[in-house]
Amino acid sequence: RKEVEQDPGPFNVPEGATVAFNCTYSNSASQSFFWYRQDCRKEPKLLMSVYSSGNEDGRFTAQLNRASQYISLLIRDSKLSDSATYLCVVNNRAGTALIFGKGTTLSVSS
Amino acid sequence: DGGITQSPKYLFRKEGQNVTLSCEQNLNHDAMYWYRQDPGQGLRLIYYSQIVNDFQKGDIAEGYSVSREKKESFPLTVTSAQKNPTAFYLCATRFGEHEQYFGPGTRLTVT
């Protein structure tokens, strides 16, 4: 099992749609979880941290299921500006670095 | 202006030459990281450093070298031993177990 696996995408959705991304991770001892956003030819930027209780930031909701080693990101009311690649991130086995999934590409069209 | 700077943004080199990529930060973060990203691929960890004068190999360290003589600086040297050096190189910092912050990256092309 790869350390971090994501839906390959791409996801092509119309404006206003709700879209969900899934991610699984292999290290059951992971303690740090994040979603990052990466625009084309730019550096990744933090979208949100993921907490055990789940958390919401505006149109974005992140969920963590430790038992299944599964993380999700839900985007409601998609905007054109949400078009990007979304990276699922967890800490490595030693807890010393972050491991990034390959990302899921989202394209929102009008 | 706080943050992470990487220079240059674009770098071109001939095969067989070593090249050093710069990464400087004024966030006062202890940990610094180098990643490589290839088109359509995820980020792969090359080297990281948690404190000055100490660094660890990541998943793809072969053909690369680093130094950490100052807290603010973590330069990466791409040596001629690196088989496929053309890539997007990203430097990042981290405070404790919080998120990582990235610099704008350097696109290296070796021909």
3-state secondary structure string across chain B: CCCEEEECCEEEECCCCCEEEEEEECCCCCEEEEEEECCCCCEEEEEEEEECCEEEECCCCCCEEECCCECCECCEEECCCCCCCCEEEEEEEECCCCCEEECCCEEEEEC
Regions in chain B scoring below 50 on pLDDT: none
With the C-alpha atoms ordered A91, A92, A93, A95, is the resulting torsion angle positive or negative?
A: negative
Residues in chain A with CB shorter than 8 Å from the CB of B34 are: none
Quote the pLDDT of residue A93: 82
Quote the pLDDT of residue A1: 67
**Tens-place pLDDT, residues A58-69:** 999 999 999 999
Quote the pLDDT of residue B97: 82
- Give the residues across from A105 on adjacent strands: A85
* A11 in B contact zone (CB under 8 Å): no
Arithmetic mean of pLDDT, A68-93: 95
What residue in B sits closest to A9 (Cα-Cα)? B40
Confidence class for position A78, pLDDT limits 50, 70, 90: very high
Confidence class for position A2, pLDDT limits 50, 70, 90: confident
What residue in B sits closest to A98 (Cα-Cα)? B100
Quote the pLDDT of residue B1: 55
Distance between alpha carbon A73 and the CA centroid of its chain, in Å? Answer: 5
Main-chain dihedrals φ then ψ at residue A81, nearest 5 degrees:
-70, -10
Kind and range of the H or E element at A10? none
Please judge whether A91 and B104 are an interchain contact, meaning their C-beta atoms are less than 8 angstroms apart.
no
- The more confidently predicted of residues A96 and A14 is A14
**Tens-place pLDDT, residues A18-36:** 999 999 999 988 889 999 9
What residue in A sits closest to B4 (Cα-Cα)? A43
Task: For residue A31, give both structure tokens.
Answer: 């303690």
Task: For residue B94, give both structure tokens.
Answer: 């981290």
Arithmetic mean of pLDDT, A71-89: 97
- CA–CA dist A104, B54 (Å, integer): 34
* B42 in A contact zone (CB under 8 Å): yes
Quote the pLDDT of residue A82: 98
Residues in chain A with CB shorter than 8 Å from the CB of B45 are: 92, 97, 99
For A102, the closest of B35, B41, B105 (CB atoms) is B41
Closest-CA distance, B94 to chain A, in angstroms, reads 9
